[in-house]
A and B are shown apart, each in its own frame.
Chain A
């Protein structure tokens, strides 16, 4: 039974991977990756990694893929650019050579456990309880580091993707930028409640603004 399930999941994962690489439309590539991830979650379940499989489906196939779909819909498929002729031949050749090399390394491996079915199953292996215990005891530092990394990535994405061009209307933008305003407005001094705005100065600035407005009107 487990062999049948393994072959179904493995074929699904490999078909999804091949689909990601070969499909021309990026949108279909994303859908193929979702198929691949779900099949991989089934493989994780066969390996008794329940929590990793659940995280795979929820975080990867759910959240991350939704992000991909949004960006593909925003950017659009666009015309597909072709790689150079040399890379188009050499790329698959390199992948094939890598596969052969890794298979040779695995066949010649001295690891005795590779041929076996793994360590005897202990009740509770791979459950959220065990994973959580490890995360909060032995692997606390990587756990905290991962949360920091997520924060950095979120801030980095916002900084990268924000709009830099300013407002659409250049006239409005220059008016907002060059409007004379009382000194110390919008500063920490004002927020701290320091009464440093001189009334005469405000009057003078208002008069200047009036003057500019009439200039712009005429």
Chain B
């Protein structure tokens, strides 16, 4: 398959993730949608690595996976802390940092 097809799939996944981040209010689902966006970027990186015939893109994709794992760990820790304090798990209610 031409590389452009893979990039198209990556674009669609990224946009679905962005729409999910905007429309969903549950921080758990927002984290999942962030994962979607990171994975779309990963797919584009691997596709470009295939296009150029070098492995640098794959190495970068692995680093992105590490960053995503860190983000998930801290995000889920925050959600557990929110739950422990009996606050509503809803990003519209948690707006103390609005400034």
Establish whether residues B79 and A117, one from each chain, have CB atoms under 8 Å apart when the complex forms: no
Q: Nearest chain B CB to A109's CB is how many angstroms away?
A: 9
Is there an interface contact between A49 and B53, defined as CB atoms closer than 8 Å?
no
Complex CA distance for A71 and B62, rounded to whole angstroms: 24
Does A130 contact B70, Cβ atoms closer than 8 Å? no
Chain B contributes a number of interface residues (CB within 8 A of A) equal to 71
User: Are B61 and A52 closer than 8 Å at their CB atoms?
Assistant: yes
**Residue A156 at the chain B interface, CB threshold 8 Å:** yes
Known: A103-B11, A131-B59, A160-B80. A125 touches B70 (CB 8 A): no
A131 CA / B4 CA spacing, docked (Å): 24
Contact for A153 among B36, B59, B73, CB less than 8 A: B73
Q: Is the Cβ of B77 less than 8 Å from the Cβ of A68?
A: no
Cα separation A117 to B19 with both chains bound (whole Å): 30
> Which single member of A49, A80, A99 contacts B61 (CB below 8 Å)?
A49
A49 and B32 within 8 A (CB): no
What are 26 residue pairs bridging A and B, where the CB atoms are less than 8 Å apart in the complex?
A6-B6, A20-B29, A21-B24, A33-B32, A46-B1, A55-B62, A68-B28, A68-B31, A71-B28, A74-B83, A81-B25, A81-B90, A82-B25, A83-B22, A98-B14, A114-B51, A116-B2, A125-B55, A131-B55, A134-B55, A146-B66, A150-B66, A157-B73, A160-B78, A160-B80, A160-B81
